[in-house]
Amino acid sequence: MSDALVVFTPSGKRGRFALGTPVLTAARQLGVDLDSVCGGRGICSKCQITPGYGEFSKHGVSVASNALSDWNAVEQRYRDKRGLTEGRRLGCQARIQGDVVIDVPPESQLHRQVVRKAASARPIAMDPATRLYYVEVTQPDMHEPSGDLERLAEALRSQWQIDSIQAGLAILRKLQPALRQGNWAVTVALYADHRGGAARILDIWPGFHAGPLLGLAIDLGSTTIAAHLTDLSDGSVVASGGVMNPQIRFGEDLMSRVSYAMMNPGGDVEMTAAVRLAINALVQSVAAEAGADPAAIMEVVLVCNPVMHHLFLGIDPVELGQAPFALATSGALTLAARDLELTALNPEARLYTLPCIAGHVGADAAAVALSEAPEKSEDLVLIVDVGTNAEILLGNKTRVLACSSPTGPAFEGAQISSGQRAAPGAIERIEIDPATKEPRFKVIGSYLWSNEPGFAEATAKTGVTGICGSGIIEAVAEMRMAGIVDAAGLIGNPEQTGTARCFAEGRTHAYLIHDATDQGGPRITVTQGDIRAIQLAKAALYAGAKLLMDELGVDTVDRVVLAGAFGAHISAKHAMVLGMIPDCPLDKVTSAGNAAGTGARIALCNVAARKGIEAQVARIHKVETAIEPRFQEHFVAASAIPHATDRFPELSRVVTLPQVSHNTSGGGDGGRRRGRSRG
């Protein structure tokens, strides 16, 4: 027998190889996904495999115990130094001696899949732009003079089949010392993305360098900036962090920032500098949390709304503040991070921004589309990313539509009398007893309801300080279900509601949730103004969704996905009571968590996903709410609470109030009065 049958699992790929062929070589020839950084030199240990011995009737193979060459000194040294799981071999050392079945464990697969936590989510196949390659370079020869870079390129060509490379000045500076220090062996980090062209050397180390290579997924919001530090070899998140967007001092919402840029020459430059500074600080703190060298961060994927996109890139956002809301560029960009003054990373790090969908529908919405993939959905899915601005996607395999709706900051607890950001002490859950009209609530930082024993002690440190976004939604919905608020959104007086918690405030009434004045805290109430603000916000959100449904010619959707950090905390029931989202069975409403951040991570881990979302964004049908007369119609029609009573048995408990005179037309105008506040 001069050759033997080799079967790889889990791929099932098989072939015959000459006896003595290393397992890694066989895997490469068959196109089996088996990792290697050192190219088979027994250094990196990425090519670990598990041989199977015995009968494999499924594969028609009987594997003798000597089917692979003997355990060798390289393997022993590796096991002694770093440990090697029992039964594992190094694919570059073990040679084929007879028919054999070889299992490639997940951690040895180059394109291994990262299973995401959310149930609905697809796994991410690892295929990052940046990878490590170990190479041995020919020494210079005076008889055949050539540059060190040219000989490195030749080595990458012959040892790794990499056609062409390019190197920036910083790498040219490091090249010669690295080659000599490594005795003509180096490890390079090569960046090759979906655009093709020469692979770019991002870093170089003498000898073998094990990594890690890190990437940063950044979700740059108008209020907060979140970053996920990700290991580019396996997609794992090694640290996460967030900071407030310091641009808030120039304006709470995006339109105020655009105005600031318009009114103050150089204002855009100020805001650009502020956000870049904050990201640099965030990079450092996230790296410190992971105990990682910030120079190991090779790539950034950034998602954000169009105004943040322009302000971060240093483009005056003035055109986004007025019709026709033209972006300087809507395409995806690949840039040098240092050109954006992101100096805390590797000096050669690349930054990728996802494409913007339209003037109001940004790269963050594109990231949600990448994460949730409505274009692959069999049933009709409505995806809502709730923030200061709501990004709305509707579609299925046939067609996907997108729009943005100016919900305003009410859903984030802003412009609410007792509103506050989601922070310890903020009320996040509320229930109101329909009989007694008495509330009970939970605050962030405690698991106890306010009427449970120990609540006062548990919240002594933070106190009860206000209501956050998800809390105000529950409060309004519960007030409606308890008969404190009518369908038009008016809070009843004490006589109508039968509770002294409803008290007169000017010409309208408010509802007292909690009085903490005796502990020096605030009186937490829901005022008529708060109800109106929530009505405006939810009507805008609903109207946006409805507009897309009109465009698609449907009356219902099959399922709803709530995205965004806020979306993760909204109670689906209360959202539907409130009429935030169109009717849909409650069990078909799911939360995707921070889908924009997930989309950024996917783009970080898989270059094909970048290509895919760029193509998909071009195919998405964009609907501009600002110029659609039907949006205003839907908006006005959607201000009532609720319009989904029949779906909720609880709502039969809703008490019908005696009619009083009030004005319900504020909603329609309000949307215009507030202008287009985006986030």
Question: Where do contacts with its own copies occur on this chain (CB under 8 A)?
Answer: 139-150, 167-169, 172-173, 175-177, 197, 313-316, 318-319, 323-331, 335, 339-340, 356-359, 622, 624, 626-627
Q: Which is nearer to its own copies, 72 or 280 (CB)?
A: 280
Q: Which is nearer to its own copies, 486 or 614 (CB)?
A: 614
Cβ atoms of 657 and 486 closer than 8 Å: yes
Question: Residues 625, 390: contact at Cβ < 8 Å?
Answer: no
User: 595, 563 in Cβ contact below 8 A?
Assistant: yes
Burial 501-530 (b: 16+ CB within 10 A, else e): bbeeeeeebbbebbeeeeeebbebbbbbeb
In terms of CB distance, is 172 or 448 closer to its own copies? 172
What is the smallest separation between the CB atom of 375 and its own copies, expressed in angstroms? 19
Q: Which residue number, 152 or 282, has a Cβ lying nearer to its own copies?
A: 152
Shortest CB 60 distance to its own copies, Å: 50
| Least separation in angstroms between CB 535 and its own copies | 27
Structure tokens at 315: 């483009």
Backbone angles phi, psi at 233, to 5 degrees: -90, -30
User: At its nearest, how many Å lie between its own copies and the CB of residue 657?
Assistant: 42
- Between 136 and 624, name the residue whose CB sits nearer to its own copies: 624
Residue 549 CA, chain-centre distance (Å), reads 26
**Distance of alpha carbon 5 from alpha carbon 62, whole angstroms:** 10
Strand 224-231 and strand 237-244: the pairing is antiparallel
The bridge status of strand 100-103 relative to strand 237-244 is unpaired
Query: Whole-angstrom Cα distance, residue 191 to residue 349?
Result: 9
358 versus 596: smaller Cβ distance to its own copies:
358
Closest contact distance (angstroms) between CB of 1 and its own copies is 48
H-type alpha helices, 395-453: none
Yes or no: say if 272 and 332 are a contact pair by the CB < 8 Å rule: no
| Closest CB to its own copies among residues 328, 422 | 328
**What's the CA gap between 208 and 204, in Å, rounded?**
10
Nearest to 197 by CA among 162, 173, 171, 232: 162
Closer to its own copies by Cβ: residue 169 or 460: 169
Token couple for 534: 């929530």
> Least separation, in Å, of the C-beta of 322 and its own copies?
11
Give the alpha-carbon dihedral of 391, 394, 397, 399, to 10 degrees: -100
Minimum CB separation of residue 272 from its own copies in Å reads: 10
* All residues at 6 or more sequence positions from 607 whose CB lies less than 8 Å from its CB, including other chains: 127, 128, 129, 192, 193, 194
Residue in this structure with the two tokens 């501009």, named with its chain if needed? 624
**The residue type at 304:** C
By C-beta, is 341 or 583 nearer to its own copies? 341
| Shortest CB 167 distance to its own copies, Å | 7
Least distance in angstroms from the C-beta of 265 to its own copies: 13
Whether omega for the bond prior to residue 434 falls within 30 degrees of 0, making it cis, is no
As measured in angstroms, the least distance from the Cβ of 150 to its own copies is 6
Is the separation of the CB atoms in 367 and 596 below 8 Å? yes
Distance CA 321, CA 602 (A): 31
Question: Smallest Cα–Cα separation from 214: which of 194, 192, 236, 193?
Answer: 236
Work out how close the CB of 486 gets to its own copies at its nearest, in angstroms, rounded to a whole number. 38
In whole angstroms, the minimum distance from the beta carbon of 323 to its own copies comes to 7
Q: Closer to its own copies by CB, 432 or 552: give it.
A: 552
In terms of CB distance, is 52 or 347 closer to its own copies? 347
Locate 51 and state its tokens. Answer: 């041989």
Indicate the SS3 state at residue 387. coil
Q: Please, what is the minimum distance in Å from the beta carbon of residue 143 to its own copies?
A: 7
Which residue's CB is nearer to its own copies, number 148 or number 252? Answer: 148
Are the C-beta atoms of residues 368 and 391 closer than 8 Å to each other? yes
Q: Scan for tokens 């009709």, then name that residue.
A: 380
Going by the DSSP 8-state scheme, the letter that residue 249 receives in this structure is G
Beta carbon nearer to its own copies, 129 or 175? 175
In degrees, rounded to 5, the angle at the alpha carbon of residue 387 between the alpha carbons of residues 382 and 389 is 85
